[in-house]
Amino acid sequence: MISFFILYIAAVFLSSFVLKKYYLNNIVAVLCMIFTCSELFYGAYQTFVNGYYVSATAYNRYATTQEQAVQDLHTLDDSLFYRTEQTSSWRTNADHFQGNFNEGLAYGYMPLSSYSSTYNSNIMAFYNKCGYSVYRLLITWCEPILSSDSLLGIKYILGDFTQSGYEKVNDTGYNNKNIYKNPYALELGYKTSDDISSEIHADNIFEYQNALLSRIVGHLVQCYKTCTAEKTKNNDGYSWTVTSPEQDSVLYGYCNYTSGNDLKLYIDGNLRTKYSIWSAYKTFQVGDGNTPAHIVQLKGTLQRSREIDGVFYYLDMQEFRDVMREISQNQVTTFDLQDKYIKCEYTAQSDELLLLTIPYDDGWTAYVNGEKVEAYKLQDIFTGIRVTSGINTIEMKYTLPGFKIGVIFSCLGVIVYSLTCFFLFKKQRHF
């Protein structure tokens, strides 16, 4: 409302200028300044009162520790490409709901999750298919999904609870988080079969990941397998007794139709997160496969009549290792990684298709050994590049779509504005 009023005053100011009522100029300018400053101060006050309700000292302590964690991570691994994520942030509350997804930007590591008003819808859809987010309009990462993490190059996690499938690097405790390493994380790009080009239809997120892995390696794989789960409905929610395969595996699950209820997720009696809100994440780790059974509970208030279903699978680690070993034998080596420029090298045994985990965008231009080549969209998100037998130097250069046209129109606007000012000035002198 205030912004609209400022625009109205600005319009009055322009009209007074044109009508040569010069005595209004200073008054209007002062009013514009007063209303603008008032809105800015009021907005800042509301932001800090409603959003940042703890002390500045506590935040500075958190920020300093987080910076140290990222610095130690870079010291630990100076590779050009790997992604990093975390299971809690500065805004994580008592229900272990992570409400801040831009700390990678703030502290200088490369995450998957982000919070913005201008999302890439293809990225959001892919994250939803993989099981990272419930809502299709969010790009969130809150818990590891080992197969998807590995394909996307998530190599390290700052985690505040045990990350099954990851290796704990240290016990330093950065804001109650330790560094965990994913030994299966892949490089920026790797060989894929031509099957990756066709659309995947799957019954659930685990079957989707089975299909995705199968398309990449070019033959059927079944890394995720179903778990037996016995459901019980209670007055305060639901519980599932999930039977473990009692082998080297990681158990995962998610629940459908929870939105609109007030439910918290508990794994073996321990609070994991507030699960039923629109911005919650979807897939959670149940535990490892060595324990005979795990108890998954949704506890709280049921406000919707629709029955909630649980879907539980386990990741067969032996089969998963075999698949990742097969993929990792044909990876690129990254030599340069910047915001608008990527350079990597790949040695092909024959004519092959590479999958780069860079979101496909019309602004990217691809070159192989200095020659411009076509970039393909794979699974509506990845960038595909065809290479020939031998050593291939791959370069990707980015230009903002519409940038040149925008510059031309901006220049035309400046010219029109300058001419308008010139003729108004000339008209005033004439009178």
DSSP letter for each residue of 294-355: EEEEEEEE----SPPEEEEEEEEHHHHHHHHHHHHTSB-EEEEE-SSEEEEEEEESSSEEEE
CA-atom Rg of the chain in angstroms: 27
Assign 110 to helix, strand or coil: coil
Q: Which residues of 215-249 are buried (b: 16+ CB within 10 A; e: fewer)?
A: bbbeeebebbeebebeeeeeeebbbbebbbbeeeb
| Residue pair 159/87 in contact by the 8 Å Cβ criterion | yes
Closest by CA to 123, choosing from 136, 108, 134, 142, is 136
pLDDT per residue as tens digits for the range 199-222:
999 999 999 999 999 999 999 999
| Element containing residue 290 per DSSP (H, E) | none
Q: Which amino acid is at 84?
A: T
pLDDT per residue as tens digits for the range 13-54:
555 555 455 555 666 667 777 877 888 888 777 776 666 566
Check residue 7 and give its pLDDT: 57
User: How many other C-beta atoms are found inside a 10 Å radius of the C-beta of residue 270?
Assistant: 10
Check residue 8 and give its pLDDT: 55
| Residue pair 231/270 in contact by the 8 Å Cβ criterion | no
Q: In angstroms, rounded to a whole number, what is the distance separating the alpha carbons of residues 12 and 9?
A: 5
Q: In angstroms, rounded to a whole number, what is the distance separating the alpha carbons of residues 251 and 294?
A: 9
Q: In angstroms, rounded to a whole number, what is the distance separating the alpha carbons of residues 168 and 67?
A: 19
Strand partners, 366: 373, 396
99: Cβ contacts below 8 Å, ≥ 6 apart: 89, 91, 92, 93, 279
Check residue 13 and give its pLDDT: 55
Q: Which two tokens stand for residue 323?
A: 């698949």
Q: CB-based burial of residue 302 (10 Å sphere; 0-12 exposed, 13-18 middle, 19+ buried)?
A: buried
Quote the pTM value.
Answer: 0.84
Q: In angstroms, rounded to a whole number, what is the distance separating the alpha carbons of residues 358 and 349?
A: 23
* DSSP code per residue over 11-72: HHHHHHHHTT-THHHHHHHHHHHHHHHHHHHHHHHHHHHHH--S-HHHHHHHHHHHHHHHHH
User: How many other C-beta atoms are found inside a 10 Å radius of the C-beta of residue 121?
Assistant: 10
Q: In angstroms, rounded to a whole number, what is the distance separating the alpha carbons of residues 363 and 397?
A: 8
Assign 403 to helix, strand or coil: helix
Check residue 17 and give its pLDDT: 53
Q: Which two tokens stand for residue 380?
A: 């509506």
Residues of the chain with pLDDT under 70: 1-29, 48-54, 98-99, 136-137, 427-431
Q: Which residues of 400-430 are buried (b: 16+ CB within 10 A; e: fewer)?
A: eeeeeeeeeeeeeeeeeeeeeeeeeeeeeee
Check residue 66 and give its pLDDT: 95
Q: Which amino acid is at 86?
A: Q
Check residue 427 and give its pLDDT: 66
Q: In angstroms, rounded to a whole number, what is the distance separating the alpha carbons of residues 192 and 214?
A: 10
Mean pLDDT, the chain, whole residue set: 87
Q: In angstroms, rounded to a whole number, what is the distance separating the alpha carbons of residues 335 and 348?
A: 17
Check residue 161 and give its pLDDT: 86
Q: How many CA atoms lie within 13 A of 151 on its CB side?
A: 21
Check residue 145 and give its pLDDT: 95
